[in-house]
Amino acid sequence: MKNKTSENIEELFSRFLESKQASEAADDIRKGEQLLRDNPAPEPDYILIENIKRTMAQKSIRQTRAAGLHKLVYRAVAVAAAIIIVLVISQKISDNNIEVPAQMFAVETEWERNVASVDATISLLSDEIEQAQNALLGISSMTGSFNAINSADELETDLIEISSDFWKG
């Protein structure tokens, strides 16, 4: 005896095919469903699932750390740029001998006495800032190349895991 689903399938096929072809197509579907019932898919390995979860968690941690490092680098560059701007402006003022109003400084005579030591400090700070910028640029370029290498390695690892026994059953 045919159930209602089977009758609906035959009716659907009969709209598109001849009656003999419709019944054959319905029989093929029934046989396929029976094969699926007789051969259930194996359950995935618990250890493999835990390994995948651990790998994903490690990737998430690495991405979070990389984002934090990038944010730190950008902040350091912004601070260095601000310091450089201040130093350039102060250097221009001292080079051009622009008269600065006395209201800007508590005592004008102290300013005049400390000009030589300020110039030395400014040049020292400029050198240190330039070294820091070069170091940050080096870190930034190395981080980009390492990310490309890591992403290629991670892609290869992912492809190996996909082709493992987990999917073969």
Is 167 exposed, middle or buried (CB count within 10 Å of its CB: 0-12, 13-18, 19+)? exposed
pLDDT number for residue 1? 37
* Better pLDDT: 53 or 155: 53
Q: Which of 9-13, 26-30, 60-64, 128-132 has the highest mean predicted lDDT (pLDDT)?
A: 26-30
Percent helix, strand, coil in the chain (nearest 5)? 85, 0, 15
What is the pTM (predicted TM-score) of this model?
Answer: 0.27
> What distance in Å separates the CA atoms of residue 113 and residue 17, rounded to the nearest whole number?
104
> What distance in Å separates the CA atoms of residue 37 and residue 75, rounded to the nearest whole number?
61
> What distance in Å separates the CA atoms of residue 117 and residue 27, rounded to the nearest whole number?
97
* Better pLDDT: 154 or 53: 53
> What distance in Å separates the CA atoms of residue 140 and residue 133, rounded to the nearest whole number?
10
